[in-house]
Chains A and B, each alone.
Chain A
Amino acid sequence: MEPKNILLEMKDYIVEMGAETINWCMQCGLCTNLCPWRLVPGQTSEEFNIRHMQRLGQMGIEGFEDENILFACSTCGMCQNNCPRGVKIIDNVKAMRASIVGGGMVPAGLRPILGSCHANGNPWSGPRENRTKWQEGLDIPQFGPDTEYFLFVCCHSCYDPRSMKIAKSIATLLQKGGVSFGVIGVEENCCGESMRKVGDEELFQKLAGANIELFNAKGVKKIITTSPHCLWSFKNDYAQLGADWEVVHYTEILGKLIAEGKIAPVTKSGKKVSFHDPCYLGRHSGIYDAPRELLRSIPGIEVKELERSRELSLCCAGGGGRIWGEVPMGERFGELRVLDAVETGAEVLATACPYCVNMLTDACNSLNKQDVLEIRELSEVLVDSL
């Protein structure tokens, strides 16, 4: 075999794009072996090897830029959280993607998404003015100087009809609990979390810059997010850009409301419910107990832990831009999740992330398990119990 050339310039470029820890990697391989792709069959599983990809990046050797490999990572964080060397693997993935996307080589499937963000401030090709459509039938206050919290609703729940229910239930619960909150509405932009993960740093900067300017102008100090992705991005990406807000996920607020007796779930559904930890809520943000406490606060519900839960939770495959990826049936992580829940004896698989709801619902349907398992957002389960 002809020797491959080590290219320090290429390596330095990747590092410059953000892969600052790529050289910390000692190539133990734990990342590859904890990767959810190992749990499914198929070509992507065979080709996508995060250790090897980082190895190529470490030496600036060509080969990592293959679209099917480079964009396979769902940034679930299973590898990163357990990396023995503390390598920021997701940053490395992001940087390697950026080294391609920055050069204009955007994968075909992502082009309309990024384009929509540029044009509409959301990836779902929805007109800006429809951002508030989910509020129909509800009386959602506008954020103002006297409002404590700004409720930031994920674009997915603004535009996806199924997902709108999530926004509705969360808003309803907050209102019932007497939380002072409001929305800004059509001026809001997508948080840009996924755009940054797919390597479009320029787009992210644009979205984030606009949001920071908007939120600060409105006097936002505290934010409630519906999605763990927005939560994480505001807390981490935005903080890097100077944003200084107190950001919480809605599950954290609701926990307090229940503890204070402001919300009192009563309905005894008697169902067996499993909770799927969303990666960006659990591994990325360290929130494991809040959603479980919410479930346990509902009388009569039996909580069944999934085989892989909490720190070991299995990704739904919706992060890192994968929500727009095409994956053949039989290779979807969500299907494993659904089967696991069914095996556990759960009747409801609850989660707390719009992407997870989306991915798990698709999986449930494709497996034809919708009769035995309901995929629900946690807020929906709670609203039902009131």
Chain B
Amino acid sequence: MADAQDSARTILVAGGGIAGLSAAVEAAEAGFQVILVEREPYLGGRVARMNKYFPKLCPPQCGLEINFRRIRNNPLIQVMTMAEVEKIEGESGDFTVGIRVNPRYVNEKCTGCGKCSEAAQTSIPNFFDYGMSTVKAAYLPHEFAYPMRYVIAPQVIGTPEAQAIEAACEYGAVETDMAQKSVEVKAGAVIWAAGWTPYDISAIAYYGAGKYRNVVSNVVMERLASVNGPFKGIISRPSDGKAVKKIAFVQCAGSRDENHLAYCSSVCCLASLKQATYLLDQQADAEVSIFYIDIRALGRQEAFFEKVRQDERVRLVKGKPGEITEDPATGMVTVQVEDQQTGKTLREQFDLVVLAAGMAPATSQQKIPASGVVYDDFGFVVSKGQIPGIIGVGCDRRPADVSSTVQDATAAVLKAIQACRR
């Protein structure tokens, strides 16, 4: 942890997802002090909840593990979890940043032994699984969580259960009277990496998401396929847990659509192609249909697209589906779409329909708490005319895949260093 703080050589990074995490380690390894502020109790953000990356089909935890090691080995990085940046004042080279730290009710003495969880009775929806599973009110966010430290859900605070949880800890790590606190730090530059949220697919009324349980978003699909997900990685229908054999991917669910997100979310084509392989690898008799407008597999991703396309169990259909309906008796979901190649209308039943939900920048919902930051109509932080020293990165700047996000985060560090020199 950084004790003596030299603000002119300190970079504050808001957001501990892949963008913020990358920016933090890159900056620290360039010799700068870093304060990494993350809202959730663990680092890794959205990618920690993913199963695999395209096109290599490697698990995100692998790269996260390396990054966590880089953090552990670097005394220049200070990590604050369950913390949010509340205000940024001052100017490039000399910012004062107010941070609110929410109570975790578990202190740094936690060894990760899990005794608190054994003492907890209440179950709460598991945020990590988008609510598809539950966790105890004293929980480790997930197996790979960094920091590997438990969290007590605020729901039980003040109850006898919380006392029991506190009593169960042999190391004095549970502090049920922990309070929210505010701290102020100085920084020469701020890198804003709040990330993105999947577009609310229930707003696309004709697709029935939210109404039909077997119509899910692509981020939920990542959990369905994850070995530490609600079905231990066997892709199953949320309605009844039945293994999925026939699956449909509906592209541009919200993206490229003036009524929802006018821009292209850039990653969904590859994400769906990747998710297709999840099922293909699990089920010999899998049937995959992908309904698309354009397949946007840029650069070398083309080879991955080609590989998936070659699989005879995969059918790519040019056409954006219309109404989606679910049979309440069987849970089967019917997709209706014209195959533009043939002109024929397909009306087929699937076990599961995955909507390729687009990416909305976190800054569309929660702005950077500094005056003068410029956004576009969609809430992305624009590059021109920006106030110096506050640098939007990754999906707060444009929809991007992991690799581009890391690239952007690395570039942002250079800008931050320049700002610190001012």
Do A and B touch (CB < 8 Å)? Answer: yes
Q: Establish whether residues A34 and B206, one from each chain, have CB atoms under 8 Å apart when the complex forms.
A: yes
Q: How far does the Cβ of B355 sit from chain A's closest Cβ, in whole Å? A: 13
Partner of B338, one of A49, A84, A85, A312: A49
* Chain A residue, CB-CB nearest to B347: A38
B409 located at the interface, meaning its Cβ lies under 8 Å from any Cβ of chain A in the complex: no
B361 located at the interface, meaning its Cβ lies under 8 Å from any Cβ of chain A in the complex: no
Contact-size category for A: 20 to 34
A1-46 with Cβ < 8 A to chain B: 26-30, 32-35, 38, 46
* Chain A residue, CB-CB nearest to B335: A33
Q: Establish whether residues A311 and B205, one from each chain, have CB atoms under 8 Å apart when the complex forms.
A: yes
What B residues does A52 contact at CB under 8 A? Answer: 343
Q: Establish whether residues B293 and A28, one from each chain, have CB atoms under 8 Å apart when the complex forms.
A: yes
What A residues does B337 contact at CB under 8 A? Answer: 29, 33
* Bound CA span A104–B338, Å: 33
With contacts A27-B340, A34-B206 known, is A84 near B257, CB below 8 A?
yes
What A residues does B343 contact at CB under 8 A? Answer: 49, 52
Q: Establish whether residues B205 and A33, one from each chain, have CB atoms under 8 Å apart when the complex forms.
A: no
* Chain B residue, CB-CB nearest to A35: B322
Q: Establish whether residues A33 and B322, one from each chain, have CB atoms under 8 Å apart when the complex forms.
A: yes
0/1 string, A302-328, CB within 8 A of B gives 1: 000000000110000000000000000
With contacts A29-B319, A29-B337, A33-B337 known, is A312 near B293, CB below 8 A?
no
* Bound CA span A33–B345, Å: 8
Partner of B293, one of A26, A32, A49: A26
With contacts A49-B343, A51-B338 known, is A28 near B252, CB below 8 A?
yes
0/1 string, B310-342, CB within 8 A of A gives 1: 000000001111110000000000001110100
A82 located at the interface, meaning its Cβ lies under 8 Å from any Cβ of chain B in the complex: yes
B377 located at the interface, meaning its Cβ lies under 8 Å from any Cβ of chain A in the complex: no
Partner of B322, one of A34, A84, A311: A34
A86 located at the interface, meaning its Cβ lies under 8 Å from any Cβ of chain B in the complex: yes
* Bound CA span A86–B338, Å: 20
* Bound CA span A32–B256, Å: 17
* Chain A residue, CB-CB nearest to B251: A28
What B residues does A32 contact at CB under 8 A? Answer: 319, 322, 338
Q: Establish whether residues A30 and B320, one from each chain, have CB atoms under 8 Å apart when the complex forms.
A: yes
Q: Establish whether residues B319 and A84, one from each chain, have CB atoms under 8 Å apart when the complex forms.
A: no
With contacts A28-B320, A52-B343 known, what are 10 further pairs, Cβ within 8 A? A29-B318, A29-B337, A29-B340, A32-B319, A33-B337, A33-B338, A34-B206, A34-B323, A49-B343, A82-B206
Cross-chain pairs A/B with CB under 8 angstroms, 10 sampled: A28-B320, A29-B293, A33-B319, A34-B206, A38-B347, A49-B338, A52-B343, A84-B257, A84-B259, A312-B206
Partner-A contacts on B (CB < 8 A):
205-206, 252, 256-260, 293, 318-323, 336-338, 340, 343, 345, 347
> 7 closest A-B pairs (Cβ-Cβ)?
A33-B322, A84-B257, A34-B322, A28-B320, A29-B319, A30-B320, A28-B293
